[in-house]
Structure 1
Amino acid sequence: MRSTEVLIVGAGPTGLVLALWLNKLGVAVRIVDKTPTSGTTSRALAVQARTLELYRQLDLADAIVNAGHQVPAANLWVKGAQAAHIPLDATGGALTPYPFLEIFPQDQHEQLLIERLHAVGISVERQTELLDFNQDEHGIHARLRLPDGSESECQAHYLAGCDGARSTVRKALGIGFPGGTYQQVFYVADVEAQGPAINGELHVDIDEADFIAVFPLAGKGRARLIGTVRDERAEHPESLRFEDVSQVAMERMKVEVTQVNWFSTYRVHHRVAQQFRRRRAFLLGDAAHVHSPAGGQGMNTGIGDAINLAWKLASVLAEKASPELLDSYEIERMAFADKLVASTDQVFSFVTADGRLARLLRTRLAPVLLPRVAAIAAARGFMFRTVSQLSLNYRLMPLSFGDAGTVHGGDRLPWVVENGHDNFSGLQRLCWQVQVYGAASEALSAWCARHGLALDVFPWSPACEQAGLARNGMYLLRPDTYVALAQSSPDVAALERYFATRALHPWTVLTR
C-alpha cells in the first residue's frame, strides 16, 4: 500500500495546479488520471487576469504571458458591421499588472504545469483509475486500477476530486449535480483564416444569424471559432463536419477560412454540485460546477478552487490550523460557483436565444446601448473586473472581517503602482502577511516580528487613495492573497482576536 497526504484524482489544470501549490507548501501528493496522455486539443483558451496574478506565486505568470497571445480589445458585430469596441488594455491598466485577456490553449497550459511538476519530482500516474474509496476519522483508503490492469491500494489524509463533470469521486460520495443542458448544439474549430475579424482581438456576432465568436490564437491568421448549430443539423451533431455548419455569420463578419486544423461539436451544461466537500473528500473544477463558456470562466474557476483549497489543506496538515478551516472551502467556492452559473446563464441565453423578441433585443437594442455603455469608463471597468475575476470576493464569510477605505475583508487587494514599484511584489510569498499604507506602529512591527509574520509598509500616496485603501490602514492577507482582516488603523488586538477566534496560527513560510 502506498501512502500520501493528498491523493488528487484528475490531471487537468485544476488537479495539476493543486498538486503544484501543495508541493510548494511542503505537502506530499499523488496525482492520478485514467487517460493515457494529457490533452492534445485546445479546449479552454482564456487565462484571466486574476489567475495570472495568483500564478505569480508559482512563477508561472510570465511563462504563460510570453507563450500566449494578449487580447487587447473585444468587439461586437451586428448585421455585418462592428457595433461596439471595448479596449481591455485601456480599461484594466490601472487595475492589474495584466490588463488583457490572455489566450493560452489548455493543451499547452497543461503541458507547462506537467513540466513544472516534473521539475519537482512529481509525475502524473497515467492510465490509473480510481475504482472506489472509503474514509474514516483517520483518512482515505482508495482502491486504484493500474495500467497493467492490476489493483493497488492507497492511503491518504485527504482526497481531491478534480476528475471532471462525470466525476467518479462525486458519484462515489453520492452528491447530487443538479442543473440542466442547453438545447443548442455548438461547434468549435481551430482555423487559419483572414479578414477584418482576424486581427488579434476578440469578435462576437450577436445578430439573428448563427451565433459566432472569434478568439485569436498565437500566430498570424490563427483563430478559434465557436458557433451554434441550428435546425435539423443539430439532431445528429456527432456526424457534422465544418463544411456542414452555417456560414452566414462568418460571411457577415467577412471571415474567410483557409484551413481547419481541428473541429468538434458539443452541448453546454450548467450544474453545481450540492456539496463541495464530504468529510475528507473534496470536489474541485468541473467535478463541482459546469457552466456556459460565456466569459471564459470555466478553467479559471477550477484553478481558483485549487488555490483556495491548497493553503487550507497545508495549514491543517502542518497543524497551523484546526480542521474546521476546511469548512470555509465549500462556503467560499460554492457561493462563487452559484453566482457564476447564474450570471453566465443570463449572458449565454441573451446571445443564443431564438425568437422574435430575442432577435429584436440583439439587433435593435444592443447595437444602440452597447456602444454607449462601452464609452463609459466606469461601465468598462465593471465589465473588465467581472470577466477578469478581479471582483471575486469572500465578503461576509467566516475568514473575512472588517473594512478600511473601500476595501473589505474578503476582497482582492487593490493593485497600486508608484514609481515603478507595486504592492503585489510581496504577494509572491505563500504565507500570511500584513500590509500597511502610511505608518506602522512599533507595537505592530514587534507583534509581526514575534509571530514570524511578514510586514510590508508602503508610503502613502494619491495612488493608494485612488485604489480605495485607507491611510495608515492595516490589511492582513491570507496565503492566497485575499484580504482576511481590514482595519482603518494598525491594531495588534484585532490581529490577536482574528487568529484566536478562528484557531489559526500565522506563518510566514509554511515548514513541515
Structure 2
Amino acid sequence: MKSDVLIVGAGPTGLVLALHLAKYGIPFRIIEKNAGPGEASRALVVHARTLEFYDQLGFADEVIHQGIKVKDVQFREGTKVKANIHFRDLGKGLSPYPFALSYPQDDHEQLLISKLADEGVEVEWETELVSFTDGGDRVQAVIKKDGQEERKEFAYLCGCDGAHSTVRRGLAFDFPGGTYEELFFVADVEANTGEIAESSLNVYLDSDTFYLFMPVRSTGMERIIGIVPRELTDQRSVAFKDFQPLIEQKTGLSIQCVNWFSTYKVHHRVSSYFRKGRAFIAGDAGHLHSPAGGQGMNTGIGDAVNLAWKLAAVLLQKADEAILDTYEEERIGFARTLIDTTDRAFTSIIGDHMTSRLLRKLVIPHVAPLTLRSFSTARKAAFRRLSQINIHYRGSQLSDGIAAKVHGGDRLPWIQTNKCNNFDSLKSMDWQLHVYGQANEAVKDFARGCGYFLHEFIWENAMEKKGLQENALYLIRPDGYVALAEGEQNVKRLKEYVSKFNISTLY
C-alpha cells in the first residue's frame, strides 16, 4: 500500500501522530534510526491535557494505572519538610485528570508502541532518513534501511526526530535560542527513602544548588535531577559516585544502586518555522525547553494531535489543503511563549545571584505554598498553566465567535454532572456540534444533512459557571477545541465557517 505520510522519529511525538493517523485510516510509515525505544530518559511528567488526548484514544486509564499520581510537592532540607503543596486534586473541577502523573518516558514509549501494534502498525527501527526533496506535489525521500538506500514518495513528511532533526536541517530552519551554562544530571536509583512519601515530588533547595527527586515506578526507584557541582564540571568525565555522598547528605536518601545516570546540557530553542511546503516538524525538532514544569514532552504531544487531524482531513479530502497553514500558526506561538516563560522561571531558580538565592530559600518553599493554600484562584491558575488546559487558539484562522465566556479557539470546558460528561463525545475524534440547552430545527437540519453529530445537553447551572451560554451553538474540532461559538444558533454563520476550508466530517 502506498504510504501518504512519512513520520521520522518514534519518540512520544511521532508515536502519538502515528496513532491518530492510524485511527483515521491514513496509510503511513514511521521510521526511527535507533535500534529500539529508549531505555531511560529525562521526560517524566504527563499532564492533564495529554491525558485528555489519551482519553480520546481510549487508553488514559491504562496510562494512569501504570504511572504514579503526584500527590504533593514537598520542599525539603534533608529529611525535614519545610513546606508542602498538595497537588493531588489541584485541578479539581477543571479536568477529568486534576493531577500530574509520574510516568517515565521509556515506559510511556513502550505503551504507545504497543497501542500502535494493536492498530497493525510497526515502527521501522534502524531506519534513517538520509535526505528529501519537496517536489511540490509529493516529497521524494531517501531512506536507509539494512544498509540499503530506497527512494520513496510521500504526500507529506513529518519530522518528529528530536533536537538534531534531519528534517529541520533539510528545511534549513534556524533554531535560535541558547544553552544554560550549568551541567545537569539525571539518575534513576534504587534508594531507601525513609519517611519520604512515595508519591511526592521532592524539591531540595539551598543557596547554591537544587535537586528534584520523585518516584518513577512503584518498585522503589527514584528519579533524581539536579546540577553537577561546579568543581566537577571540568573533569573529563563525571560519574555519579563523584558526588553521591553530597546528594545523600542533602536529600536524606540512602542510595543502594544506580540503574542509570547521565549528564546533559539544557537548551531553550524554538525553530523559526514549523512548516515548509509538504514538510512539518513537531516536538523537540521544533522546540527545546528547560525542565521547568515538565512541559517539553507534553507540548510535543500537543503538536502531534494538532497536526494529525489536519493531515487526515486533507488526505481524506474532508478539508482544503489551506487548513494545514493553521498548524504552525497555532503551535509556534505557544512554543515561543512557553520557552520564554520556562526560561525565565528556570533562570530564576538556578541563577547564582541574590534574587535566585532568595527565591530558593524563601519565596519558592514558603511564599508559594502559602499562596496556593490560601487562594483557590491561585491554585486554579497554577493548574491551568502547568496542565496545558489553558492553551487556546483564539487568533487562529480556524477560530471564530464568542458565546458567554467561551471563544472560538478555546479548549472545550469540561462538564461533568449526574446527567452528562461532555468529554465522552470527544472520543469520536471528529467534528461535532454541541448545544447546552435545546437546538433549533435549522441546526438539527444542518446536522442531519451534513453528517455532524449533534449533542444536546440538558442545561444546568454548572454549565454557566464554566462559561457556557444556554442554547448557544458550539462547533467542536476533532481535537476538542471550540472552532465556532455562536450565541444565536445562526446556521448561516455555521455554513460560512465550514465553507471557508470546505470542512466536512472525517468519518
TM-score by length of 2: 0.96
Q: Which residue of 1 aligns with 2:418?
A: 419
Which amino acid in 2 is paired with 1:377? S
Q: Offset of 1:58 from its aligned partner?
A: 1.4
Q: Which residue of 1 aligns with 2:304?
A: 306
User: Conserved in 2, the CA contact under 8 Å of 1:15 and 1:31?
Assistant: yes
Alpha-carbon separation, structure 2, partners of 1:250 and 1:346: 29
User: Conserved in 2, the CA contact under 8 Å of 1:5 and 1:157?
Assistant: yes
Q: Do the aligned partners of residues 170 and 331 (structure 1) sit closer, same or farther apart at CA in structure 2, a change above 3 Å counting? A: same
Range that drifts further, 411-420 or 215-224: 215-224
TM-superposition CA deviations, 1:39-90 (whole Å, max 9, x none): 1114311111100101112112111111111112222336864343222233
Q: Do the aligned partners of residues 247 and 374 (structure 1) sit closer, same or farther apart at CA in structure 2, a change above 3 Å counting? A: farther
- Report matched runs for 1:328-367 at 5 Å: 328-367=326-365
Alpha-carbon separation, structure 2, partners of 1:408 and 1:85: 36
Alpha-carbon separation, structure 2, partners of 1:214 and 1:120: 36
Alpha-carbon separation, structure 2, partners of 1:433 and 1:83: 49
Q: Which residue of 2 aligns with 1:131?
A: 130
Q: Offset of 1:6 from its aligned partner?
A: 0.2
Q: Offset of 1:234 from its aligned partner?
A: 1.6
Q: Offset of 1:218 from its aligned partner?
A: 2.3
TM-superposition CA deviations, 1:134-189 (whole Å, max 9, x none): 11221100111112x11101110000001110001111111111111000111111
Q: Do the aligned partners of residues 350 and 197 (structure 1) sit closer, same or farther apart at CA in structure 2, a change above 3 Å counting? A: farther
Q: Offset of 1:209 from its aligned partner?
A: 4.0
Q: Offset of 1:256 from its aligned partner?
A: 2.4
User: Conserved in 1, the CA contact under 8 Å of 2:320 and 2:503?
Assistant: no
1:89 aligns with 2:88: yes
Q: Which residue of 1 aligns with 2:398?
A: 399
Which amino acid in 1 is paired with 2:276? R
TM-superposition CA deviations, 1:299-346 (whole Å, max 9, x none): 111111111001101111111111111000001110110011011111
Which amino acid in 2 is paired with 1:183? E
Alpha-carbon separation, structure 2, partners of 1:163 and 1:312: 20
Q: Secondary structure at the match of 1:199?
A: coil
Alpha-carbon separation, structure 1, partners of 2:214 and 2:386: 15
Q: Secondary structure at the match of 1:91?
A: coil
Q: Which residue of 2 aligns with 1:174?
A: 172
Q: Which residue of 1 aligns with 2:237?
A: 239
1:492 aligns with 2:502: no
User: Conserved in 1, the CA contact under 8 Å of 2:138 and 2:154?
Assistant: yes
Which runs of 5 or more residues in structure 1 are unaligned?
A: none
Q: Which residue of 1 aligns with 2:475?
A: 476
Q: Do the aligned partners of residues 71 and 368 (structure 1) sit closer, same or farther apart at CA in structure 2, a change above 3 Å counting? A: closer
User: Conserved in 2, the CA contact under 8 Å of 1:403 and 1:409?
Assistant: yes
User: Conserved in 2, the CA contact under 8 Å of 1:81 and 1:253?
Assistant: no
Range that drifts further, 344-353 or 70-79: 70-79
User: Conserved in 1, the CA contact under 8 Å of 2:349 and 2:359?
Assistant: no
Alpha-carbon separation, structure 1, partners of 2:468 and 2:106: 39
Q: Secondary structure at the match of 2:401?
A: strand
Alpha-carbon separation, structure 2, partners of 1:127 and 1:322: 35
- Report matched runs for 1:258-297 at 5 Å: 258-297=256-295
TM-superposition CA deviations, 1:387-435 (whole Å, max 9, x none): 1111111112111111112111111111111116311010101110011
- Report matched runs for 1:442-457 at 5 Å: 442-457=441-456
Which amino acid in 2 is paired with 1:263? F
User: Conserved in 2, the CA contact under 8 Å of 1:83 and 1:371?
Assistant: no
Instruction: Choose which of 368, 371, 374 in structure 2 pairs with 1:370.
Output: 368
Alpha-carbon separation, structure 1, partners of 2:89 and 2:117: 38
User: Conserved in 2, the CA contact under 8 Å of 1:36 and 1:126?
Assistant: yes
Which amino acid in 1 is paired with 2:31? V
Q: Which residue of 2 aligns with 1:118?
A: 117
Alpha-carbon separation, structure 2, partners of 1:402 and 1:251: 57
Q: Offset of 1:380 from its aligned partner?
A: 0.9
Q: Do the aligned partners of residues 250 and 445 (structure 1) sit closer, same or farther apart at CA in structure 2, a change above 3 Å counting? A: farther
1:192 aligns with 2:190: yes
User: Conserved in 2, the CA contact under 8 Å of 1:198 and 1:216?
Assistant: no
Q: How large is the RMSD of aligned CA atoms in angstroms?
A: 1.7
User: Conserved in 2, the CA contact under 8 Å of 1:48 and 1:388?
Assistant: yes
Q: Which residue of 2 aligns with 1:230?
A: 229
Alpha-carbon separation, structure 2, partners of 1:292 and 1:247: 26
Q: Which residue of 2 aligns with 1:19?
A: 18
Q: Do the aligned partners of residues 245 and 420 (structure 1) sit closer, same or farther apart at CA in structure 2, a change above 3 Å counting? A: farther
Alpha-carbon separation, structure 2, partners of 1:69 and 1:420: 30
Q: Secondary structure at the match of 1:4?
A: coil
User: Conserved in 2, the CA contact under 8 Å of 1:271 and 1:341?
Assistant: yes
Q: Secondary structure at the match of 1:35?
A: coil
Q: Which residue of 1 aligns with 2:46?
A: 47
User: Conserved in 2, the CA contact under 8 Å of 1:85 and 1:374?
Assistant: no
Q: Do the aligned partners of residues 74 and 181 (structure 1) sit closer, same or farther apart at CA in structure 2, a change above 3 Å counting? A: same
Q: Offset of 1:264 from its aligned partner?
A: 1.0
Range that drifts further, 242-251 or 103-112: 242-251
Alpha-carbon separation, structure 2, partners of 1:228 and 1:420: 50
Q: Secondary structure at the match of 2:3?
A: strand
Range that drifts further, 198-207 or 28-37: 198-207
Q: Offset of 1:474 from its aligned partner?
A: 1.6
Alpha-carbon separation, structure 2, partners of 1:226 and 1:366: 18
Range that drifts further, 26-35 or 245-254: 245-254
Q: Offset of 1:28 from its aligned partner?
A: 0.5
Alpha-carbon separation, structure 2, partners of 1:391 and 1:46: 17
Q: Secondary structure at the match of 1:118?
A: helix
User: Conserved in 1, the CA contact under 8 Å of 2:420 and 2:457?
Assistant: no
Which amino acid in 2 is paired with 1:276? F
Q: Secondary structure at the match of 1:154?
A: strand
Q: Which residue of 1 aligns with 2:252?
A: 254
User: Conserved in 2, the CA contact under 8 Å of 1:84 and 1:370?
Assistant: no
TM-score by length of 1: 0.95
User: Conserved in 2, the CA contact under 8 Å of 1:77 and 1:207?
Assistant: no
User: Conserved in 2, the CA contact under 8 Å of 1:212 and 1:250?
Assistant: no
Alpha-carbon separation, structure 1, partners of 2:4 and 2:264: 37
Alpha-carbon separation, structure 2, partners of 1:217 and 1:136: 46
Alpha-carbon separation, structure 1, partners of 2:76 and 2:100: 19
Alpha-carbon separation, structure 1, partners of 2:81 and 2:388: 26
User: Conserved in 2, the CA contact under 8 Å of 1:84 and 1:374?
Assistant: no
Q: Do the aligned partners of residues 344 and 192 (structure 1) sit closer, same or farther apart at CA in structure 2, a change above 3 Å counting? A: same
Q: Do the aligned partners of residues 45 and 368 (structure 1) sit closer, same or farther apart at CA in structure 2, a change above 3 Å counting? A: closer
User: Conserved in 1, the CA contact under 8 Å of 2:348 and 2:355?
Assistant: no
The percent identity for this pair of structures is: 46
Q: Secondary structure at the match of 2:18?
A: helix
Q: Do the aligned partners of residues 462 and 84 (structure 1) sit closer, same or farther apart at CA in structure 2, a change above 3 Å counting? A: farther
Q: Do the aligned partners of residues 334 and 33 (structure 1) sit closer, same or farther apart at CA in structure 2, a change above 3 Å counting? A: same
